[in-house]
Amino acid sequence: MNGKMLPSELEGYVDTVLDLKREYKDDIEILLGLEVEYLYTLWEPLLRLLEPYPIEYMILGQHYLGNGVNAPFCGEPSNSAERLRQYCRQTREALETGKFLYFAHPDVLWYTGPGEIYEEEMTKLCRFCREIDIPLEINLLGVREDRSYPCEHFWKIAAREGNRVIYGSDAHRADHVYSAEVIAKADRFLEKCGIPRERLIEVMDVGSEKDGIKK
């Protein structure tokens, strides 16, 4: 799984973030967080690995299914209805753990099969997220690069189901953390999908409302 942090890199990451928190404590608030996969046999070992560290929040970013071993990337196009259903099952199970602050790029699963199957499965997923009050992320890396996500079909479902949404920069470069141009593009997408502006929230609002940020 390319691009993932190795267990041996975790301590260095935590130390770096904690050093930055101390250095800039009078200027900005920095939180120690992780984007996490929910992979069946690795979930409990992951929690044990993280236990000694002062992780303040986690977000769910499901890129692979099952145990992740030899599993195709969810962002690869596929017309498999079973793969779509597995993605929805696995992400629901992940969110039921109560460990996640919000759901990153929930539309990363690139389904190319019949639209009515996508409609049915993603409606159930969006409804579930609304019922447990988990915000859905409009991924700004996807906006920036015109990826298969954000997916208009998905977000029109989220608009209808009343989900709250959040922008996530998903910055792979420092100069991509914030871009007025990308934000404006995301705003236009939000409007096109029919999501009211008042449903767009800030990450700190999520933490304060849900006590999702653990200190």
Question: Which pLDDT tens digit goes with each residue over 174-191?
Answer: 889 999 999 999 999 999
CA–CA dist 117, 124 (Å, integer): 11
CA–CA dist 163, 126 (Å, integer): 7
Domains (ranges, CATH) in the chain?
Answer: 32-210 (3.20.20.140)
In this structure, the number of other CB atoms found within 10 A of the CB of residue 209 comes to 12
Which residues is 161 bridged to in the sheet?
Answer: none
Residues in the chain: 215
Other residues' Cβ atoms within 10 Å of the Cβ of residue 196: 11
- Residue 40 pLDDT exceeds 60: yes
pLDDT tens digits, 102-153: 999 999 999 999 999 999 999 999 999 999 999 999 999 999 999 999 999 9
